[in-house]
């Protein structure tokens, strides 16, 4: 392929120190599409040192202004705009998602550049804010906003380019220097992001992209003593190892982890509109979305019509290779494969276990539904399980695939209790024509994001993140910028004033 597959360190593409490689596969066919350099601790050390040097350089880091950073971000947004079709095709090939989904990711990336450029300029205006300290002028206290330092960023594979943007762009806005380790399952577009940032005027070393395996590149990054902040999006088990490593610093950390998000449907909800959002909430990205609303709770009075409409819509979804001529020409809803053989096997294990437990499948759950597709591809049909016990594995655990569980409820209190009975707390959706009920129920949800009569919208201007096992810290909006900003207190004493204590 024509795109670079080497690491990007200190402003140029370089081969990994040990010459290691790993393969990247097309999930629709199982074919290798690239052999990518696999960075190890030696490469990570070089990248972190480059980042630290840039942080203390004349043109970046502590000596840069928000206005300077905003110029770079706006130029980067224009570069992404000019190459969005190419980037979307690359993510669709690498991940398997339909092109329309990948193009939507590019639109969000472009908006992020503009939004964080505005925030960078605002940070200039907020510098040297005077804080009332109660001394009547004997002491003057101001606040200085500075980059937190060298950032170690680790991103997942479900939004290859966009997740890189979510971390790199606010880090640039704050003046930080970043070492980005993209997922080994879909690293290609992040390597393109590196060269685009350089073209936009980002100094060499301010962004380094180090593809590699988690236990080699990822572990070395979070353990490096010169990394000041770790920003991670991924699984709970991996986050525990990252937290332990970060504690040795100690260093700052933010985690955006998994979810088992509920979607509550009350008796007065618009059924057709609700079904649209249910499908979006579980089938976008083939269900490989941390905020996927995979647990649907529906009032018993509307369960039958909702399920009937849902089945009608799901049956019309066309599956296949997202970049094939047939799929590209299809006018209706489409769905691609899941990312890898490992993910494919994991999801089928959940489905097969649910069958063995005697759970009821309203749709899917059968390999026969995808038997017409290439057997080398990782295709899983939309799967709907009805009335699983609240203790069932498919109801409790994050599957990260196109598997939806539906249960009915009789009262609002019951719905809220069942929805909150989860170790995760990323998002929740509430569907009702009663605005007061939406507000009341939304306030009762123990999560970081609540949607009213919709599911999955994410805006770069609004905070994103969860509670409980879904992590802590926030991405996007001014909250996302604050994650990469260090707040310094500066206090000066009035001329000739003395406490007279000695």
Phi-psi group of 303: left, alpha or beta (phi > 0 → left; psi -120 to 50 → alpha; rest → beta): alpha
Q: Which of 461, 48, 1 is nearest to 188 (CA)?
A: 1
Residue 270 burial by CB count (10 A; 0-12/13-18/19+): exposed, middle or buried?
A: middle
The dihedral built from the CA positions of residue 318, 319, 320 and 323, taken in this order, carries a sign that is positive
Q: Count of CB atoms within 10 A of residue 272's CB? A: 11
Among residues 346, 339, 282, 275, which one has the least CA distance to residue 307? 275
Marked catalytic residue, from 121, 256, 482, 483: 256
Q: Which DSSP string corresponds to 375-444?
A: TTS-----EEEES--TTSHHHHS---SSEEEEEEESSHHHHHHHHH-SSEESEEEEE-S-HHHHHHHHHH
Whether 256 is catalytic: yes
Task: State the SS3 of 178-199.
Answer: EEEECCCCCCHHHHHHHHHHHH
Alpha carbons 254 and 176: distance in angstroms, whole number:
15
C-beta separation of 98 from 453 below 8 A: no
The answer to whether 42 is a known catalytic residue is no
Catalytic member of 113, 177, 197, 290: 290
The residues annotated with a catalytic role in the active site are 256, 290
């Amino acid at each position: 392929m024509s795109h670079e597959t080497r690491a990007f360190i200190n402003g140029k593409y370089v081969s990994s120190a040990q010459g290691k490689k790993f393969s990247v596969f097309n999930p629709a066919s199982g074919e290798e599409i690239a052999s990518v350099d696999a960075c190890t601790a030696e490469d990570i050390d070089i990248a972190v040192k480059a980042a630290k040097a840039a942080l203390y350089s004349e043109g970046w880091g502590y000596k840069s202004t928000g206005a300077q950073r905003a110029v770079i971000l706006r130029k980067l947004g224009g570069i992404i705009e000019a190459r969005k079709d190419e980037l979307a095709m690359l993510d669709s090939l690498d991940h398997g998602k339909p092109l329309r989904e990948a193009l939507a990711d590019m639109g969000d990336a472009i908006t992020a550049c503009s939004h964080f450029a505005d925030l960078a300029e605002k940070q200039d205006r907020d510098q040297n804010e005077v804080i009332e300290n109660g001394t009547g002028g004997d002491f003057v206290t101001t606040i200085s906003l500075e980059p937190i330092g060298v950032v170690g960023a680790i991103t997942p594979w479900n939004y290859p380019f966009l997740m890189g943007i979510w971390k790199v762009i606010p880090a640039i806005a704050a003046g930080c220097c970043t070492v980005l380790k993209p997922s080994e399952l879909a690293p290609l577009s992040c390597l393109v992001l590196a060269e685009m940032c350089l073209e936009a005027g980002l100094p060499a070393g301010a962004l380094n992209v180090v593809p590699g395996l988690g236990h080699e590149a990822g572990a070395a990054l979070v353990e490096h003593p010169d990394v000041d902040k770790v920003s991670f999006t991924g699984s709970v088990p991996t986050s525990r190892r990252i937290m332990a490593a970060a504690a040795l610093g100690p260093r700052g950390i933010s985690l955006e982890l998994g979810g088992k998000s509920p979607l509550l449907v009350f008796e007065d909800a618009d059924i057709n509109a609700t079904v649209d959002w249910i499908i979006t909430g579980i089938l976008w990205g083939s269900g490989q979305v941390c905020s996927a609303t995979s647990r649907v709770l529906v009032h018993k009075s509307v369960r039958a019509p909702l399920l009937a409409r849902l089945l009608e819509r799901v049956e019309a979804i066309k599956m296949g290779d997202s970049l094939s001529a047939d799929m590209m020409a299809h006018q209706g809803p489409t769905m691609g494969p899941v990312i890898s053989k490992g993910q494919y096997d994991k999801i089928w294990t959940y489905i097969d276990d649910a069958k063995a437990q005697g759970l009821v499948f309203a749709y899917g759950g059968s390999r026969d539904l995808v038997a017409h597709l290439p057997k080398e591809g990782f295709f899983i049909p939309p799967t709907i399980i009805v009335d699983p016990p609240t203790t069932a594995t498919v109801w409790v655990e994050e599957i990260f695939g196109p598997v939806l569980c539906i249960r009915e409820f009789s009262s609002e209190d019951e719905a809220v209790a069942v929805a909150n009975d989860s170790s995760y707390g990323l998002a929740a959706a509430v569907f009702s024509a009663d605005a007061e009920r939406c507000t009341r129920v939304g306030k009762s949800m123990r999560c970081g994001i609540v949607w009213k009569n919709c599911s999955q919208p994410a805006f770069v201007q609004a905070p994103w993140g969860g509670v409980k096992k879904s992590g802590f810290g926030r991405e996007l909006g001014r909250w996302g910028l604050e994650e990469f900003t260090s707040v310094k207190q500066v206090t000066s004493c009035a001329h000739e004033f003395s406490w007279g204590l000695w």
